[in-house]
Amino acid sequence: MNWSELAETTFMLVYTFALVMVSIYGLHRYTLLVLYYRHRRKHPKLPERFEQLPRVTIQLPMYNEKNVAKRIIEVICRMDYPRELLDIQVLDDSVDETQQIAREAVDHARKQGFDISYIHRDDRIGFKAGALGNGLKTAKGEFVTIFDADFVPEPSIVKDSIHYFTDPTVAVVQTRWDHLNRDDSLLTKSQAILLDGHFIIEHIARNRSDRFISFNGTAGTWRRSAISDAGGWRHDTLTEDLDLSYRAQMRGWKILYLPQLTAPAELPPEMAAFKAQQFRWTKGGAQTALKLMPRVFLSSLPLKVKIEAFFHLTAFSVHFYMALLVIMMFPALMMRNLPLESGTFWRTAFDMSVLLLATLSGSLFYVAGQAGLMRDWRTTVKFLPLLMALGVGMCASNTKALLEALVGRKSDFIRTPKYGNVDRHATGAESAATGRPKQKRQWLPYVEIGLGIYMIVCTIWSLVNYEVALLSTPFLSLFAFGFFYVSLLSLQKHRAPAPAKAPEPSVAAAGVYVSQPAPEPIKSAVADS
């Protein structure tokens, strides 16, 4: 075998491996759909009710959240829970005017009789995990509820969920995220569909089939003793919530998911903020996989739990395989015998198998998610090409995150900027104020533009050689659009749309809280879960 044949064979093996891996993860989506439809009516049952409600600590971690700090404090102060049993902690690591805003809101609430404390750290050691752990040192509650600063939870959410802890094996009760600014733009609509798929299909399928799920970092309540038993909050990964969830479940604790209870929050309206969020989740997920997968496989957990844990913890690796396929696309088009000779039955069967496993599975997954919420799932169908394009367009950024995790490169916890009800220009000064470091070298968007141009070249080639590559043309066009969409929006300095206005408590002249009506719960198929 000469060098040319060796290079071609190696290329064929790598390309086929990437195709197979993408197809395997696509097949796993079908598995989740089967589990969802098999177990969706297996609603969690309330064991009993507390005769005396327990004391609950509500932690509000924040970092430079000037647009939403006051709102979340006021919203928490109208919780439908006995005031004498609430302990509220504002865990503020801010270095901007959020400090003054939060202090004033806390002082006002304290004057109204709330047991609320303002805890500020100057060092920000451990980021969010460090703040949560620091708050536990003085927390008074047996249970700890966490809300990020952009959430607007239902007033009854703690009272409605706390009784599930009468089961002594329950460590966490997780509620479902809803979205305040779902309809603001194509980007926020796409994010909402993606998250709905996670919260409806993935969480229900895993939780009700007795597989591991994760606490989502917010909008949930922990049993304080479970946190201690699992080893407490740790900050050696960027996804401290996923890490603690797995450690607790490996200790025998249960996580209970209640999709009928919702906590609306804000979706990132800017591509740069969305990419930063996805980067953190991807890198943190990879770090957690490297840390915990050996322990999971060496444990005595059931095989089904181990298999699902593998797919759960390694899900973001699909971006790496997609990046490989994109880079190798043009040579693969030129070498028509990859992985099987063009024009043959087996080549057609292979291409259709990849299409059904890798592409159709994602489409069915997200349509099913909207159908599970009883939204207009038919309208969702028209967003499927954009979802596919967005997924491919994000593969460069997320591959970078994955590689950083693999080589052990450390990075700060970059929070997702929150805008509240405020319009703003995304200036460099604002970036600094929100805790997002100024980007000295915006090189990644230019790489994405280059990949977009590369996909256009591949698209033109497939059109010219339509006899053997016509099936590839629509997908190549979507890939090109995805890279341009992600890169150009990343570079664009634009005016962020104002999210849907959330209900704001107001303060009457007499000095008592006068609350606006709470957001109406979404009418959905999970409402009676």
pLDDT along the chain (529 residues), means of 10: 80 88 92 96 92 97 95 96 97 96 97 96 92 97 97 96 97 97 94 96 97 97 98 95 98 97 95 94 96 97 97 95 92 66 54 65 91 83 90 95 92 73 47 44 89 95 75 87 95 54 40 35 44
pLDDT value of position 382: 86
Find out whether the peptide bond into 519 is cis, omega within 30 degrees of 0. Answer: no
pLDDT value of position 421: 65
Examine the residue annotation and report whether 412 is marked as an active-site residue of this protein: no
Instruction: List the CATH number of the domain containing 499.
Output: 3.90.550.10
| Farthest CA pair distance, the chain | 89
> Which one of 87, 93, 178, 243 is the catalytic residue?
93
For residues 420 and 151, is the Cβ–Cβ distance under 8 A? no
pLDDT value of position 510: 29
Question: In whole angstroms, what is the distance from residue 158 CA to residue 170 CA?
Answer: 15
pTM of the model: 0.87
Host domain of residue 494: 1-529
Which sign does the torsion angle of CA 417, 421, 425, 428 carry?
A: negative
pLDDT value of position 339: 53
pLDDT value of position 349: 56
508 to each of 60, 254, 281, 421, 504, how far by Cα in Å? 24, 43, 41, 21, 13
> Which one of 87, 92, 196, 241 is the catalytic residue?
241
How many structural domains does the chain have? 1
Q: What is the DSSP letter of 78?
A: T
pLDDT value of position 4: 78
524 to each of 105, 197, 293, 308, 520, how far by Cα in Å? 35, 14, 35, 27, 12
Examine the residue annotation and report whether 96 is marked as an active-site residue of this protein: no
pLDDT value of position 336: 59
- In the beta sheet, which residues pair with residue 87? 57
pLDDT value of position 333: 79
